[in-house]
Amino acid sequence: MTAPRRSRARSRVGPQSLTGAKTLDVDRLLDDPRTGIIVCCGSGGVGKTTTSAALALRAAERGRRVVVLTIDPARRLAQSMGIEVLDNTPRPVPGVGGAGRLDAMMLDMKRTFDEVVESQASPEKARQILENPFYVALSSSFAGTQEYMAMEKLGQIHADAQRDGTYDLIVVDTPPSRSALDFLDAPERLSSFLDGRFIKLLLAPAKGPARLMSAGFGMVTNALAKILGAQVLRDMQTFVAAFDTLFGGFRLRAQKTFELLQADGTAFLVVAAPEPDALREAAYFVERLSEDEMPLAGLVVNRASPQPMGDVSAEEAMAAAQRLRKDDADPRTAGLLRLHADRVRIVERESLLRRRFEAAHPQVPTAVVPALAGDVHDLAGLRQVGALLAGERPT
């Protein structure tokens, strides 16, 4: 069952050969014992979850002890990986071959948040927080909570793995955000919120030092009460007061996870599809990662249209189809020629988009994964994607 090892020198075939981009050597990344964390990020609908799962499986079957943290896998894929039950704990994936192992888990953001509260506060205080209406809302619906909790869970699993030696590679799928950047911004946003003047404002009445109650504060509290209602404001104040002692811990862990992401053992893979929007998001992400000094390993372009065979151009194929249709002798062959013409045009457009990306980011090694005809929902499918990621030719 183990994926066969291939030599590193592989011929450039398919869409890859159209550009001069450096090839991302996926197997070298997976096999390198220094690679401890792989984070797959990118905009929605580009196949992040499948890519993460395929990388994790391939790494496991090549001998690594891997855990993959997914956010929202397709139902059938979750079933086949044995993680359709949300219990926020990694579970062994059945049917993995080779010497390594693969565990998988699906993130339950509210539960992760609850667990953090429970582990940090006294039982009495934890209960107080968990029952607060503002906390309930924050932990289940704040748009950044999922991103923050994915980071939190990564930190936890990493700490456990370091302590117990359970895993030597963690693969993280990132949440489907409005923008791919939310993932990097959310922890910072949450901790800057926790540090901010707004919290002090909410805490002021509870703590009551008169000097803080400046005219500005009074005006703001009044405005808030007017808009939100006094009850909501009180809930928030109770929450913030109860949570006050936990803030430090949150900030510290957010900081540690951020450092963990910047460390050498981490590899970011930006996942995209050969479409303008997805590649634009990918470009933002690449720029942002380098600004934050995050280790970028490369770009994965999923769903690339397969390279047409033969050297008949779209125009030639269309002209030939036209001639056949005029005779009306062979509509089937005419249809085949039109399909060929479409494919040539799509591949030309995709490679143009990728060349443009490459012109702006020539340093980013790239792996191009041809689109599969069917959907991936079992280990065999993941294995196939893994092989394509590693540049093996489709059979």
Partner 1 sequence: MSSRDFPQVRLHIVTGKGGTGKSTVAASLALGLAAAGTNVLLCEVEGRQGIARMFDVEPLPYAERRVATGLPGIDGQRGGVVHALHIDPESALLEYLSMYYKLGRAGRALDRFGVVEFATTIAPGVRDVLLTGKVYEATKRNARNKNAITYDAVVLDAPPTGRIAQFLGVNHELAGLARMGPIKSQADSVTTLFHSKRTAVHLVTVLEEMPVQETTDGIAELRKHDLPVGGVVVNQVRPRDLDDDDLAAVRAGAVTKRQLAAALTRSGLSGDAEMVMGLLAEARDHAERRALEDAQRALVDELDVPTYELPLLVGGVDLGALYELAGMLREQGLA
State the binding string over 208-227 for partner 1 (x if CB under 8 A, else -). --------xx-xx-xxx-xx
Looking at residues 287 to 306 of the shown chain, list those that interact with partner 1 (rule: CB under 8 A).
306
- Least CB distance from residue 130 to partner 1, whole Å? 13
Looking at residues 18 to 47 of the shown chain, list those that interact with partner 1 (rule: CB under 8 A).
43-46
Residue 340 found at the interface with partner 1 (CB under 8 A)? yes
SS3 content of the chain, % helix, strand, coil (to 5): 55, 10, 30
- Least CB distance from residue 168 to partner 1, whole Å? 31
Residue 355 found at the interface with partner 1 (CB under 8 A)? no
- Least CB distance from residue 178 to partner 1, whole Å? 5
Nearer to partner 1, 32 or 72 (CB): 72
- Least CB distance from residue 104 to partner 1, whole Å? 18
Looking at residues 229 to 268 of the shown chain, list those that interact with partner 1 (rule: CB under 8 A).
229-232, 235-236
CA distance 57 to 65: 10
- Least CB distance from residue 375 to partner 1, whole Å? 4
Burial of 256 (0-12, 13-18, 19+ CB in 10 A): middle
- Least CB distance from residue 295 to partner 1, whole Å? 26
Burial of 375 (0-12, 13-18, 19+ CB in 10 A): exposed
Q: Quick one: which segment of 87-95, 205-213, 228-236, 251-259 binds partner 1 (CB under 8 A)?
A: 228-236
Helix (H, G, I), strand (E, B) or coil at 31: helix
CA distance 96 to 354: 34
- Least CB distance from residue 183 to partner 1, whole Å? 14
- Least CB distance from residue 229 to partner 1, whole Å? 3
Looking at residues 127 to 146 of the shown chain, list those that interact with partner 1 (rule: CB under 8 A).
133-134, 136-138, 140-144
> Of 146, 74, 67, 161, which is closest to residue 112 (Cα–Cα)?
146
**The binder of partner 1 chosen from 114, 244, 287, 316 (CB under 8 A):** 316
Nearer to partner 1, 241 or 320 (CB): 320
> Helix 230-262 vs helix 145-164: angle between axes, to the nearest 10 degrees?
50
Looking at residues 172 to 211 of the shown chain, list those that interact with partner 1 (rule: CB under 8 A).
176, 178-179, 189-190, 193, 196-198, 201
Give me the DSSP letters along 217-263: HHHHHHHHHHHH-HHHHHHHHHHHHHHHHHHHHHHHHHHHHHHHHHS
- Least CB distance from residue 133 to partner 1, whole Å? 4
**The binder of partner 1 chosen from 87, 277, 292, 315 (CB under 8 A):** 277
State the binding string over 318-337 for partner 1 (x if CB under 8 A, else -). -xxx-xx--x-xxxxxxxxx
φ, ψ dihedrals at 106, nearest 5°: -110, 135
**The binder of partner 1 chosen from 5, 8, 28, 75 (CB under 8 A):** 75
Residue 383 found at the interface with partner 1 (CB under 8 A)? no
Nearer to partner 1, 103 or 147 (CB): 147
Nearer to partner 1, 198 or 247 (CB): 198
Gyration radius of the chain over CA positions: 25
Nearer to partner 1, 32 or 188 (CB): 188
Exposure of 71 in the CB half-sphere (CA atoms within 13 A): 25
Please name the residue that has the structure tokens 């125009």: 315
Nearer to partner 1, 163 or 178 (CB): 178
Give me the DSSP letters along 153-188: HHHHHHHHHHHH---SEEEEEPP--SSTTHHHHHHH
CA distance 362 to 379: 34
Please name the residue that has the structure tokens 């289940």: 140
Question: What number of residues does the chain have?
Answer: 395
